[in-house]
């Protein structure tokens, strides 16, 4: 299945890079088994697989090297003699030899010949899955990404075998892969000579009194790092979750250039990129499942989770909380990127408009203008309501401001509903921003 | 200028099983059609092609939808399990629960080079993989080929382009020939209408 495909891509890239000529079985025995299973702490726990089936009295952390070899032999004999099933061919259907599994209705009756190579490759592929928050993993059928993931395996093994880190949890290879790729591909934070303390500061590992474990990375953080590897690129990822039963999201195109685009828009709007990058990037991205429902992952999927509560509502940023300024930067960046999708120039048009509207409000004496702006204009759910509010403003305006607002009215009229929603929210944030500054 | 005859089909629901969904408790729908699905649709529309191998008449397609919505449903095993109880044999067909992502209000455009073929297609319904997911013909249009390829407003959607290049990925195995099928995903406009 798909794990086999990715495993094959990786093995070809591996053989080329390390100038070797390993067959899938050789690689599995000499590299994969040695890294993943031939130690007291495993790197990957596959339910029902030969590696976790213990005889009475056996425990994974007290197995002798001979006992581990025996488990490897058990796997070999299964691969040679049995129809592949999910317990030893990862991502494959459940066995039907004894009875139909409850998920058997999903299995197609197209008979695919599976070789023993395919089975070993499926293990390799599954070890390359990149875990992200939400219980899903992503596989990229890409030589560079898989080779980079492979480098991380050795780092994880090194820490697992480190006596001073005896509390470090095993079996977290996919979670680790996500953190490792995010960290190692980010040229601005990655250091060649990193140590465990660096990883702890990066929040890759969570350390407490009884346990050290790898945190799960957000897909958006991974996305921003991958976009450094492929700044103009687009990669199809396969999003899934393996467990007792699997979850299949399927093939989702990742528009990595959207990540570079966000950074570029930010730079153009606010000058240099001097904010806390990690905190800034963490604001982007909806839940992975919602993102995948969009069919492809790009700018739209990067929508900051916090922004939704402001859209089409009178609620606005208050700038009284310290986080609000960073949120404002992130929200404005995303909205601007959405509005200028196909255009090159990024302007601060909305900022000028916000100033005009603020001027209008300050010229009033009573609270009626404030009410009009806050609870009518910015709370508009549709273009019609927005334009009605503008028309109400027009009667009190003169000369230049009148021209600006009239022009705004015409522009809003021509926007699509989607554009309008972004535009109105952006204008609202800018308004709150200039109001705070004044 | 070459012309296409495009038939627009629409319906309530659609579901396309990803080929990798084999022991799932949760499955999304695929957002594109694979070569064998297009071939199947073509054979449904033109039964005279049943014995002919490959796609002959459909020259392009576009699939869009309003959103994917998750539905919980009961599935059954694909056969009967039997257990012995003394002298008796007990047959049962166990259930499981699956959360299935279903395409809401799918719209499918099928492009033909030949007006007559498009006319025949326009008089019939098609299905997206499950035969309860009926799509009915809505309009038959004559368009320039370039417009069909690039008009992001009228013909937005996903189209898997059936060729093997560096962007391609494995999309499954052909039901008839068992061969691996490859393609890359072309996205025109914004195919998901509501989010």
Using the Cβ of B31 and the Cβ atoms of chain A, whether some distance falls under 8 Å is answered with yes
Task: Determine, for residues B94 and A296 on separate chains, whether the beta-carbon distance falls below 8 Å.
Answer: no
Integer CA distances (angstroms), A230 to A126, A167, A226, A433, B115, in order: 23, 36, 6, 34, 44
Write down the H helix ranges in A28-112. Answer: 33-36, 65-81
SS3 of chain B: helix, strand, coil, percent, to 5: 15, 45, 40
> For residue B195, what pLDDT is reported?
56
DSSP for residue A35: H
> For residue B38, what pLDDT is reported?
94
Integer CA distances (angstroms), A380 to A417, A421, A425, B131, B164, in order: 12, 9, 10, 43, 48
Integer CA distances (angstroms), B110 to B7, B14, B136, in order: 5, 16, 12
Q: Is A273 helix (H, G, I), strand (E, B) or coil?
A: coil
Write down the H helix ranges in A297-416. Answer: 323-339, 349-363, 368-371, 383-394, 399-414
Which pLDDT tens digit goes with each residue over A194-218?
Answer: 888 888 888 898 888 889 999 999 9
> For residue B42, what pLDDT is reported?
94
ipTM score for this prediction: 0.89
Identify the helix (H) or strand (E) that includes residue B159.
Answer: strand B157-161
Residues sharing a CB contact under 8 Å with residue A199, sequence separation 6 or more, in sequence order: A179, A183, A205
> For residue A144, what pLDDT is reported?
92
How many alpha carbons fall within 13 Å on the CB side of residue B27?
A: 24
* Regions of chain B where pLDDT drops below 70: 195
Using the Cβ of B161 and the Cβ atoms of chain A, whether some distance falls under 8 Å is answered with no
The answer to whether the predicted template modeling score (pTM) of the entire model surpasses 0.95 is: no
Cα dihedral B115, B120, B121, B126 in deg (nearest 10): 180
Which residue matches tokens 């010949």? Answer: A113
The Cα–Cα gap between A202 and A298 comes to 25
Choose among B20, B26, B30: nearest Cβ to A1: B20
Q: Are A202 and A183 in contact (CB under 8 A)?
A: yes
> For residue A279, what pLDDT is reported?
81
Helices A417-437 and A323-339 cross at an angle (nearest 10°) of: 140
Task: Determine, for residues A110 and B184 on separate chains, whether the beta-carbon distance falls below 8 Å.
Answer: no
| Residue of B20, B153, B156 to mutate, testing the A interface (most A Cβ within 10 Å of its Cβ) | B20
The Cα–Cα gap between A58 and A159 comes to 24
Using the Cβ of B186 and the Cβ atoms of chain A, whether some distance falls under 8 Å is answered with no
User: A232 pLDDT band (50/70/90 cuts)?
Assistant: confident
Using the Cβ of B18 and the Cβ atoms of chain A, whether some distance falls under 8 Å is answered with yes
Contacts of B170 in chain A (CB under 8 A): 2, 5
Task: Determine, for residues B185 and A236 on separate chains, whether the beta-carbon distance falls below 8 Å.
Answer: yes
> For residue A275, what pLDDT is reported?
67
Which pLDDT tens digit goes with each residue over A304-316?
Answer: 988 888 887 888 8
Nearest residue on chain B to A5, alpha-carbon basis: B170
Chain A residues contacting B via beta carbons under 8 Å = 1-2, 5, 86, 91-94, 99-108, 110-113, 141, 234, 236, 238, 240-241, 245-251, 253, 290, 292-296, 300
CA of residue A328 relative to chain centroid, distance: 22
Residues sharing a CB contact under 8 Å with residue A36, sequence separation 6 or more, in sequence order: A42, A43, A44, A127, A153, A173
| Å between A172 CA and nearest CA of chain B | 21
User: A326 pLDDT band (50/70/90 cuts)?
Assistant: confident
Which pLDDT tens digit goes with each residue over A35-79?
Answer: 999 988 899 999 888 888 888 888 888 888 888 898 899 999 989
> For residue A344, what pLDDT is reported?
65
> For residue B116, what pLDDT is reported?
92
Percent of chain A at pLDDT exceeding 90: 33
Please compute the mean of the pLDDT values over residues A398-412 and round it to a whole number: 84
The Cα–Cα gap between B15 and B4 comes to 27
CA of residue B49 relative to chain centroid, distance: 19
DSSP per-residue string spanning A191-238? -TT--HHHHHHTTSEEE-SS-EEEPPBPHHHHHHHHHHHSTT--EEEE
Please compute the mean of the pLDDT values over residues A269-274 and round it to a whole number: 72
How many alpha carbons fall within 13 Å on the CB side of residue A412?
A: 28
Choose among A105, A249, A300: nearest Cβ to B78: A105
The pairing of strands B95-104 and B24-27 is parallel
Q: Exposed/middle/buried for A232, CB within 10 Å: 0-12, 13-18, 19+?
A: exposed
> For residue A324, what pLDDT is reported?
85
The Cα–Cα gap between B135 and B147 comes to 23
Cα dihedral A270, A274, A279, A280 in deg (nearest 10): 20
Contacts of A144 in chain B (CB under 8 A): none
| Å between A50 CA and nearest CA of chain B | 19
| Region of A31 on the Ramachandran plot (φ > 0 left; ψ -120 to 50 alpha; else beta) | alpha
> For residue A261, what pLDDT is reported?
86
* Whether residue A271 has pLDDT greater than 70: yes
Percent of chain A at pLDDT exceeding 70: 98
Q: Exposed/middle/buried for B91, CB within 10 Å: 0-12, 13-18, 19+?
A: exposed
Structure tokens at A98: 């004894």
């Amino acid at each position: 299945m798909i794990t086999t495909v990715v495993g094959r891509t990786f093995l070809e890239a591996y053989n080329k890079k390390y100038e070797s000529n390993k067959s899938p079985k050789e690689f599995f025995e000499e590299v994969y088994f040695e890294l993943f299973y031939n130690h007291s702490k495993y790197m990957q726990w596959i339910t029902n697989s030969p590696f976790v089936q213990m005889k009475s009295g056996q425990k994974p952390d007290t197995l002798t090297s001979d006992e581990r070899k025996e488990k490897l032999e058990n796997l070999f004999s299964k691969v040679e003699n049995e129809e592949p099933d999910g317990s030893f061919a990862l991502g494959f259907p459940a066995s039907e030899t004894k009875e139909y599994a409850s998920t058997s209705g999903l299995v197609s009756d197209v008979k695919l010949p599976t070789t023993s190579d395919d089975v070993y490759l499926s293990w390799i592929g599954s070890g390359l899955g990149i875990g992200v928050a939400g219980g899903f993993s992503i596989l990229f059928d890409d030589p560079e990404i898989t080779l980079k993931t492979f480098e991380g395996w050795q780092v994880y093994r090194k820490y697992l075998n480190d006596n001073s880190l005896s509390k470090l949890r095993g079996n977290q290879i996919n979670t680790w892969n996500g953190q490792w790729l995010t960290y190692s591909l980010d040229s601005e934070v990655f250091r060649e000579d990193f140590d465990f303390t660096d990883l702890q500061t990066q929040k890759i590992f969570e350390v407490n009194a009884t346990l050290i474990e790898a945190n799960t990375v957000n897909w958006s953080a991974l996305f921003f790092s991958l976009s450094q590897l492929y700044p103009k690129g687009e990669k199809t990822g396969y999003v899934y979750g393996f467990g007792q039963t699997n979850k299949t999201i399927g093939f989702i195109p990742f528009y990595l250039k959207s990540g570079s685009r966000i950074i570029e828009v930010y730079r153009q709007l606010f000058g240099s990129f001097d904010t806390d990058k990690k905190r800034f990037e963490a604001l982007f991205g909806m839940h992975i499942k919602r993102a995948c429902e969009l069919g492809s992952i790009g700018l739209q999927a990067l929508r900051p989770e916090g922004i939704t509560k402001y859209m089409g509502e009178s609620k606005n940023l208050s700038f009284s909380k310290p986080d609000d300024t960073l949120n404002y930067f992130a929200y404005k960046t995303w909205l601007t990127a959405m509005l200028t999708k196909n255009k090159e120039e990024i302007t601060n048009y909305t900022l000028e408009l916000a100033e005009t509207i603020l001027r209008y409000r300050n010229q009033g004496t009573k609270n009626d203008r404030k009410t009009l702006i806050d609870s009518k204009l910015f709370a508009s759910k549709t273009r019609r309501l927005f334009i009605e509010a503008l028309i109400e403003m027009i009667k009190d305006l003169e000369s230049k401001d009148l021209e600006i607002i009239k022009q705004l009215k015409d522009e809003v009229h021509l926007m699509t509903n989607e554009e309008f929603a972004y535009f109105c929210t952006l204008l609202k944030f800018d308004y709150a921003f200039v109001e705070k500054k004044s | 200028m070459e012309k296409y005859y495009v038939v627009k089909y629409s319906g309530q629901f659609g579901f396309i099983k990803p080929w990798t969904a084999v022991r799932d408790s949760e499955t999304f729908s695929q957002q594109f059609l694979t070569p064998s699905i297009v071939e199947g649709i073509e054979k449904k529309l033109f039964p005279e092609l049943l014995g002919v191998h490959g796609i002959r008449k459909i020259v392009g397609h576009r699939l869009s939808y309003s959103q994917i919505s998750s539905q919980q449903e009961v599935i059954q095993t694909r056969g009967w399990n039997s257990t012995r109880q003394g002298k008796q044999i007990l047959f049962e067909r166990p259930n499981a629960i699956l959360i299935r992502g279903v395409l809401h209000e799918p719209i499918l455009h099928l492009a033909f080079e030949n007006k007559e073929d498009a006319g025949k297609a326009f008089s019939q319904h098609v299905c997206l993989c499950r035969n309860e997911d009926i799509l009915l013909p809505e309009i038959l249009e004559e368009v320039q080929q370039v417009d069909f390829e690039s008009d992001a407003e009228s013909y937005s959607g996903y189209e898997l382009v059936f060729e093997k290049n560096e962007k391609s990925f494995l999309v499954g195995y052909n039901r008839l020939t068992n061969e691996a099928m490859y393609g890359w995903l072309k996205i025109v406009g914004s195919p998901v209408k509501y989010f």
